[in-house]
Amino acid sequence: MRQRIVRFENAVATLAMIGIIVLPLAEIVLRKWFSTGIPGAAPFAQHLTMWVGMLGAAIAARDGKLLSLATGEFLPKGRLTDGARLFAAFVGSAVATVFAMGGLTLVTIDRLDGAEIAAGVPVWVADLVLPMAFGLIAGRLVLRASRYRFGQAVAALGPVAGYWLATHPEVLDGQAAWPWLAVVLGASILGAPIFVLLGGSAVVLFLAQGSKPTVLLITAYQELTGSAGLATIPLFTLAGYLLAEGKSSERLLRVFRAVLGWLPGGTAVASASLCAFFTLLTGGSGVTILAVGGLLLPALIKDGYRERFSVGLLTSAGSLGLLFPMSLPLILYAIIANIAMEDLFIGGLLPGTLMLVLLAGYGMRESLKSKAPRPAFAGGEAIASLWNAKWELGLPVVVMTALLGGYATPVEAAAVAALYALIMQRVVHRDIPTTRDILRVTADSVGLVGGVLVILAVAVGLTNYMVNAQVPDALIDWTTTHVESPLMFLLALNIFLLLVGSVMDIFSAIVIVVPLISGVAAVYQIDPVHLGIIFVANLELGYLTPPLGLNLLLSSVRFQKPVLEVTRAAFPMLVILSVGVLLITYFPSLTLGLLQLLGRIQ
């Protein structure tokens, strides 16, 4: 029975993803050759994105992959951990149930209103995914709370509490919010998903001021369907996951070793370059470490590099691709900050290259120290490897040509990327041999997308509350009063973002922090694109910052090393990349130079 449910969810998510791919591609064809388009294509694509996001969140809850703070990883094993999981599941399922009940109310309101998406399709039909997905999330948090029926029964009181709170919102009306906020924060520290922290905080604050849960669902709905560029996230994610399947990593490693292997530290340089390339395609450094770490670590050790250096290099290189075009953090930042996605792609090229060069330089130093062998350059092998990996290497070229050449919008370019990757892996290389494999890969990518988009959806309510409470204005006043120099503001921002990145994944940090700091940065006349690159570069470092840096934890699992040992191995790279972040911060021309050269900014 469970397998049937899994296959059904995967199939529905895949169908929704196909719709997001087909509609933009059809728009390109009709616009190019028939000077027309599909009526309602944009709103249909936006509502399908909502379906992908919410189904993805349910799939992530099913697989235990909802994004959470890293603090839960350090709880000692035993009864204390079991109790913490029950408490986190109780609060998390209660919050999800409140949103599910709000979703049911939204369906009723839109059904009575009679509004349509387009072509006679009513809005309320699209709304159904909200209560359905949040209900599934609540149930799955309960089921994953314990291995024992008694523990699950205790956790099941969470949905009961959430239902009661949703149907009696007056209970919190006029009450102090801080005790309930402390409960939500405590649950998040103990392992509840980040959407619980943000959504639960929004629920408490809105109910305390007399609003109803439906308000939060309306803001979530508007966020998931109101952004034309939001569909780029699932599309680029799918392209990356398709590319990560099969032997693409081996083909790319062959290229980088053939082209760069003759340099001092050639294998280290090739490994860092492959990690950067893989991360920009998949959108997450954790995926890179888990996917190619097992391939690269033996290669480095075989070529004479110390094991500690090799572990540190791969741990650090896992996040390097986040500044390059097609990076999901750059896409999400552009959506949240409302700036041109193409400008961030261009602005990140030189800073991303700088970070890669700094790490590669350290690899060269290590090779000289360890006397690693340097094979002679073989032109024939270089040409053969480039030809063998031409499809993988061509993907970023196709996307950037479509974007910068004006042939496609960001969403259309993302659809091209997804179709390109699917054809390459299913037809050309046949790394994905069956339809069932396509469903599995799509479900994996949708799970990541859902983990991001559910955070984005529930965070909007919290952001709106802070705006109404004039929190950004107060932050601007405080900062300008105590920090006079833009240089000091940037230094303080670097430290703050480093701390944020050490406990929170990059997607959650973007959703939470960007609305707060963008207004403050504008006061100091910091260019929005420059701010975005500073932001992502700092969060790259956060992945390596002890004690909770995500890459440290993932490398510990992947390479079967204690976290402290991985931290020591990555520390020299953390220092080197910190220099790169300071250069990016205080030399804006690294970010803005190409944009000025291309005439995109003055």
pLDDT of residue 77: 63
pLDDT of residue 287: 65
Reduce the DSSP state of residue 512 to 3 states and report it. helix
Which H helix or E strand runs over 116?
Answer: strand 116-118
pLDDT of residue 548: 64
What residues in the chain have per-residue pLDDT under 50? none
Which H helix or E strand runs over 285?
Answer: helix 285-302
Distance (Å) of CA 66 to CA 10, 144, 433, 473: 17, 12, 29, 32
Distance from the first to the final alpha carbon of the chain: 60
pLDDT of residue 347: 93
The packing angle between helices 307-317 and 349-370, to 10°, is 180
pLDDT of residue 285: 53
Closest by CA position to 234, among listed 532, 23, 37? 23
Token output for 115 = 């509004």
What does the pLDDT look like over 471-495, one tens digit per residue?
777 888 888 888 878 888 888 888 8
Given 3-state DSSP classes, what are the helix, strand and coil percentages for the chain, each rounded to the nearest 5?
80, 0, 20
pLDDT of residue 136: 94
Contact between residue 402 and residue 416 where contact means Cβ atoms under 8 Å apart = yes
pLDDT of residue 94: 94
Q: What is the DSSP code (8-state) at residue 121?
A: E
pLDDT of residue 131: 93
pLDDT of residue 354: 95
Contact between residue 256 and residue 438 where contact means Cβ atoms under 8 Å apart = no
